[in-house]
Amino acid sequence: MSTSTVLYPRPGFVHDVLADVLSSIRLGGAIFCAMELRAPWSMELDPSPFAHFHVFERGGGYLKLGGTKKSVALAGGDLIIVTKGSGHVVSDHPQTPPVPWHVLLKMKKSTSGPHVIRQAGEGPSTQMICGKFQFENWKNNPLVSLLPPLIHIPALQAGEWLPLSLRLLSNEATSAKPGSQTILTRLTDIVFVQALRVWVENQPEEQGGWLGALRDRHIGLALGLIHKEPDKNWSVALLAHEVGLSRSAFASRFHQLVGLPPLSYLTRWRMHLAARFLEQEALTVSQTAERVGYESGAAFNKAFRRHYGVAPLAYRSKAQSRAEETRVQTN
């Protein structure tokens, strides 16, 4: 059956869209440490532009977001991610007085490695790996905007991938070998994307927003078509025809579920891809424009400038400067 007569979603399209979005998430500025703590202990992290993660290798504890009263209990093997950069306290017990992170960092640094912090107490031992990172492309990723303030992945939900990743993270965080920071950054990418997969799989079927759109038989297919062929000359009428809806019904349902009109989503995804091409591939601006569906370089430049606030070449130059700064910082 040709795509022009499809009246129902083809298998695999929803998964292709989710894979596209998961693979497009990029993290930057990751900083790591391994912590070996004996109760009582408590550390307070201020609000920041970074997301944070804490992995409990052994032992347990609690995490409380700033401005909330309820603490989340954490056990050995758990992963918790503070996605919005909120201030929070991680402790052995909710009543333990917190110590600001920068104070702990100065007072308790271990001599056994650049990423190891030890605090000697008399109570039960806890081992953690902590890190912080930024979403380099959060503005254009439809999944990042849906994330809750906390993502808690219990050890039982994580399966086998988390313990394996933990061992690798721990080995690198406690070593001073050349290139360890680069390896840690790559491992964090893997851990975060795996955590998102678990979180997505555990969302209720009636989940709204972009995830709900993926599960819709018509809109999920439309998103799949956009992601599979972003360079195609899509119109609302053509997308509606492909998924077997009238133009008005399709436009209304797409906007309701996705939060954007169909062509606005198409433009947003094209700009996201264009930024990736400019950052990662040796393409000219005209080649980039063609790959994301613009026949006119002038139209592409105008759309890109409207979306990012700078021309494509200026964006590439800034991206290269950021990459060089990160490379220098991690070497």
Domains observed in the chain: 26-201 (2.60.120.280), 207-322 (1.10.10.60)
Each residue's pLDDT tens digit, 70-100: 999 999 989 999 999 999 999 999 999 999 9
The structure tokens listed for 110 are: 């271990």
Query: Are the C-beta atoms of residues 26 and 136 closer than 8 Å to each other?
Result: yes
Q: Is 173 helix (H, G, I), strand (E, B) or coil?
A: helix
pLDDT at residue 18 in the model: 87
Residue predicted with more confidence, 321 or 245: 245
- Residue 205 pLDDT > 60, yes or no? yes
Amino acid at 220: G
Q: How confident is the model at residue 114 (pLDDT cuts 50, 70, 90)?
A: low
Answer for the pair 21, 143: CB distance below 8 angstroms, yes or no: yes
Q: What is the pLDDT of residue 4?
A: 34
Q: Answer whether 283's CB lies under 8 Å from 277's CB.
A: yes
pTM: 0.79
Alpha helices in the chain (DSSP H): 13-24, 101-107, 155-158, 161-173, 180-201, 209-215, 219-228, 236-243, 247-258, 262-280, 285-291, 297-308, 312-330
pLDDT surpasses 80 at 140: no
Mean local confidence (pLDDT), 167-181: 76
Tens digit of each residue's pLDDT (9 = 90 or more) over 12-46: 455 578 888 888 887 876 777 888 889 999 999 99
pLDDT at 1 over 60: no
121, 38 contact by CB (below 8 A): yes
Model pLDDT, residue 232: 96
Decide: 62 and 90 in contact? Cβ < 8 Å.
yes
Cβ atoms of residues 171 and 179 within 8 Å: no
